[in-house]
Each structure stands twice: as structure tokens, then as C-alpha cells.
């Protein structure tokens, strides 16, 4: 499937369908005036126009991973695609929150039973449950965030996988962090050692190394070794206490900028940074612009690595509405806007212009393929 992050055409197409639907909607007509009937004629009640049945709106249903739909990141960003669709396309939205991995199958089954027109599953860990449900219900479209199935896994081609080259944007974040560090040490940690998490950490590490090579620096990255694929992991995506303690350990080792890749766990790191002060610790958010979503801790966010799951989820729903849905894979990149780096917001003035220029040049190189973030 050809990746397309331009939603305007889809929205216009759906709007056109909506206008067409309005033009065919039933209306109540007033009886026309007529001459009185002769006295001998039987009186007839005026005919009442019967309303045409209105087709129910498409129901777009999301099953979250653990962490909840209000996690200020991963699940919430995907659900924005559903709520955008309800606002712009007139679909009905619904969500079921998974409290544990054992909830994946029953939550998906519940939405199958409810007759959802498309089921959105959020997270790599829902891969098996989504495959099982999709193969058992070949007429229902599914889309899953952070998973791409191998050829033959999905028998009816009714699943669209959403994957993201977040290492591209994280590379920029690592370059930025290395350029902004005062201690010469930066850090990262993850929730669980799975590819959608470690791809952020890979890019962050390699971006910092690129800064060192370009500027003759020796910034050290704590918490992750991409060669060994080993590092620091909380083994969960829920505990704010873990976010606090893991960040504190990195600070104790000398890091003054930390990128947590652990969903709501990172909110604990941000709370610690606010207590310590931005001169002691800055945070790089992930998934959404956490300066905007974590308003209690805005002062500590240097930037965020954006994964625009809302756009890809919206596009998947729109394709069902306009009848163009197809299974396969869509990939978000820097070049097509699927991933990106958030603004520096309140810390913008503290980022040297020379470093900003280097990051813009690097972004252009990654987008045109002249810079390889895998090295």
C-alpha cells in the first residue's frame, strides 16, 4: 500500500459523500392545495411521507495497550486519530482500555461483537491477538500501530500495519542532546526491550555519536548499547515511580538530559526533573509533544520525538469510510511527516543557532537519504 500522510484528499472525498448523502435524505412534504371533494366522495387522510431509514454511522473502535487512553503519549496519540475522525468524518468512536495483556483478546472480541466498522489496536504487544481476530473475521478491517505482519500471516489482507522510522527523529534528538549537554553525559531508558522501543534508543545513541564526530566532542550515552541491544528497561509502561528512579540513577551517573521511552513512566522522570530544576536535568519526550500534553512539567522538556499515529490512524479510518481501505503496511518517516522533532518551546532561546542549523541540515540529509541513521 502506498503511504500517504496527506489527509486532505481523504477528507474532501468523505465530505463529498456526506453532501451527496444530504441531498438524498428524506424530507417531509406538505400536501398540495386541491379543490374540495364532492359531498358524496369519501374523505381520505393526507398521505404522510415515510422517512427513509438512516444507515448507522461507521463505528471506529480502539483497543489500547496498558497505560490507558489518557497516558499523555502512545495510546492517547493514536486515539486522537479516532476522535479526529469522529469530528471530521462523522463516524462514531469507541475505546476499550487494556489493564493487562490478558485484556487484549476479550477487548477485541467485544468490538467484533459490537459490529465495529474498523478496529484499531495500539501496540506491538497486540500483534498476536490482532492477527487471530483478523483471520477469524475477514470482512472487518483492522489497523495496528507498531506492527507489520509477514507475508501470509493475514489471510484476507484486512489488516493495515502502521510502523514508524522513529530512529530518524530520535537521531535528531540525540544530536540535539549531545550539543546541549553540560556534563558530557546523556541517558535513555525504555519500558520493555521490544523493537518499537529500542528503535528510539538506537537513533538517540547514533545521533549523539554523529554530533561527536561532527564537532570533535566526547559526549557519552548512558543506558543503551545498540551493538549489543542491551540497556536499561523498567519492564513496564505504567510506573511513574520507576520513571523517577531510573532518571535519578542516570543523573547520579552524570547525565543531565534523559529520554525515557516508556509511555507514562516518563512522566515520573519529568516530575523529578522539575524538582531538580532544568539546570540539573532536562527531558526529551516521545510519541507526542509532551510539552503540550504534560503541562505540569513544561519547563523541563527540551523537545519530543514525535510519532504521528493520529495521522495514520485517521487515514486508515478515512479509507474505510471512502471504500479504499487495503491491508499491508504504511511507514511514517521524516520525509512524509510520519515522525518528527517537536519545537523547543520555552527552551528555544537556549539552543544555539549553530546547533539549530546543524539539526536542520541533518534533517534534510536524513529525508533525502544522504544520511544513514542506521550507522
Question: pLDDT tens for residues 189-242?
Answer: 999 999 999 999 999 999 999 999 999 999 999 999 999 999 999 999 999 999
CB 303 within 8 A of CB 335: no
CB 133 within 8 A of CB 302: no
Q: Which of 175, 186, 185 is nearest to 371 (CA)?
A: 175
Measure the CA–CA gap between 322 and 329, rounded to whole angstroms: 19
- Collapse the DSSP code of 229 into the 3-class scheme (helix H, G, I; strand E, B; otherwise coil) and give the result: coil
CB 247 within 8 A of CB 273: yes
Instruction: Say whether pLDDT at 5 is over 70.
Output: no
Q: Quote the pLDDT of residue 52.
A: 52
3-state DSSP of 140-159: CCEEEECCCCCCCCCCCCCE
Using a 10 angstrom Cβ sphere, with 0-12 exposed, 13-18 middle and 19 or more buried, the burial of residue 94 is: middle
First to last CA, the chain: 28
Question: CB neighbours of 61 closer than 8 A, spacing ≥ 6?
Answer: 93, 94, 95, 96, 111, 114, 116, 118, 119, 120
Q: What is the pLDDT of residues 266-282, one digit of tens each?
A: 999 999 999 999 999 99
- On whether the 57-164+308-338 domain is CATH 1.10.630.10, my answer is no
CB 256 within 8 A of CB 280: yes
Q: Quote the pLDDT of residue 51.
A: 54
Instruction: Say whether pLDDT at 1 is over 60.
Output: no
Q: Quote the pLDDT of residue 48.
A: 43
- Band (pLDDT 50/70/90 cuts) for residue 73 is confident
Q: Quote the pLDDT of residue 55.
A: 54
Domain regions of the chain by residue span = 57-164+308-338, 167-307+344-368
Q: Quote the pLDDT of residue 38.
A: 34
Backbone angles phi, psi at 17, to 5 degrees: -60, -40
- CA distance to 148, 186, 312, per residue, from 74 (Å): 17, 23, 13
- 57-164+308-338 shares its CATH topology with 167-307+344-368: yes
- Band (pLDDT 50/70/90 cuts) for residue 72 is confident
Residue of higher predicted confidence among 23 and 172: 172
Per CATH, the number for 167-307+344-368 is: 3.40.50.2300
Which stretches of the chain are assigned E, i.e. beta strand?
59-63, 92-96, 118-122, 142-145, 159-164, 185-190, 220-222, 224-225, 230-231, 257-261, 282-287, 301-307, 328-332, 339-341
Mean pLDDT of the chain: 88
Q: Quote the pLDDT of residue 49.
A: 43
Q: pTM above 0.95? A: no
Strands 230-231 and 224-225: antiparallel
Amino acid at each position: 500500500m502506498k503511504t500517504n500522510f496527506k489527509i486532505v484528499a481523504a477528507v474532501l472525498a468523505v465530505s463529498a459523500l456526506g453532501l451527496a448523502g444530504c441531498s438524498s435524505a428524506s424530507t417531509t412534504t406538505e400536501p398540495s392545495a386541491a379543490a374540495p371533494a364532492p359531498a358524496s366522495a369519501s374523505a381520505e387522510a393526507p398521505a404522510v411521507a415515510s422517512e427513509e431509514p438512516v444507515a448507522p454511522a461507521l463505528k471506529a473502535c480502539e483497543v489500547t495497550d496498558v497505560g490507558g487512553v489518557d497516558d499523555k503519549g502512545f495510546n492517547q496519540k493514536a486515539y486522537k486519530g479516532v476522535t479526529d475522525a469522529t469530528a471530521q468524518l462523522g463516524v462514531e468512536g469507541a475505546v476499550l482500555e487494556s489493564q493487562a495483556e490478558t485484556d487484549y483478546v476479550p477487548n477485541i472480541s467485544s468490538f467484533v461483537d459490537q459490529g465495529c466498522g474498523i478496529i484499531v489496536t495500539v501496540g506491538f504487544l497486540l500483534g498476536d491477538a490482532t492477527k487471530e481476530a483478523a483471520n477469524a473475521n475477514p470482512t472487518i478491517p483492522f489497523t495496528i500501530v507498531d506492527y507489520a505482519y509477514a507475508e501470509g500471516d493475514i489471510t484476507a489482507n484486512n489488516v493495515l500495519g502502521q510502523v514508524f522510522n522513529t530512529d530518524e527523529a530520535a537521531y535528531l534528538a540525540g544530536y540535539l542532546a549531545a550539543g546541549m549537554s553540560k556534563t558530557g553525559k546523556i541517558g535513555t531508558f525504555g519500558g520493555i526491550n521490544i523493537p518499537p522501543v529500542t528503535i528510539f534508543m538506537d537513533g538517540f545513541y547514533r545521533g549523539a555519536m554523529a554530533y561527536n564526530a561532527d564537532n570533535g566532542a566526547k559526549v557519552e550515552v548512558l543506558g543503551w548499547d545498540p551493538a549489543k541491544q542491551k540497556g536499561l528497561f523498567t519492564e513496564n509502561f505504567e510506573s511513574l515511580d520507576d520513571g523517577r528512579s531510573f532518571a535519578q540513577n542516570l543523573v547520579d551517573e552524570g547525565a543531565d538530559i534523559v529520554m525515557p521511552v516508556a509511555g507514562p513512566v516518563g512522566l515520573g522522570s519529568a516530575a523529578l526533573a522539575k524538582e531538580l530544576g532544568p539546570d540539573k536535568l532536562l527531558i526529551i519526550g516521545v510519541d507526542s509533544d509532551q510539552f503540550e500534553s504534560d503541562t505540569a512539567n513544561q519547563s523541563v522538556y527540551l523537545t519530543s520525538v514525535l510519532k504521528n499515529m493520529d495521522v495514520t490512524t485517521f487515514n486508515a479510518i478515512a479509507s474505510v469510510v471512502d471504500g479504499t481501505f487495503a491491508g499491508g503496511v504504511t511507514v511514517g518517516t521524516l520525509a512524509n511527516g510520519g515522525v518528527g522533532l517537536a519545537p523547543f518551546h520555552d527552551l528555544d532561546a537556549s539552543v544555539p543557532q549553530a546547533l539549530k542549523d546543524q539539526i536542520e541540515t541533518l534533517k534534510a540529509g536524513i529525508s533525502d537519504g544522504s544520511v544513514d541513521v542506521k550507522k
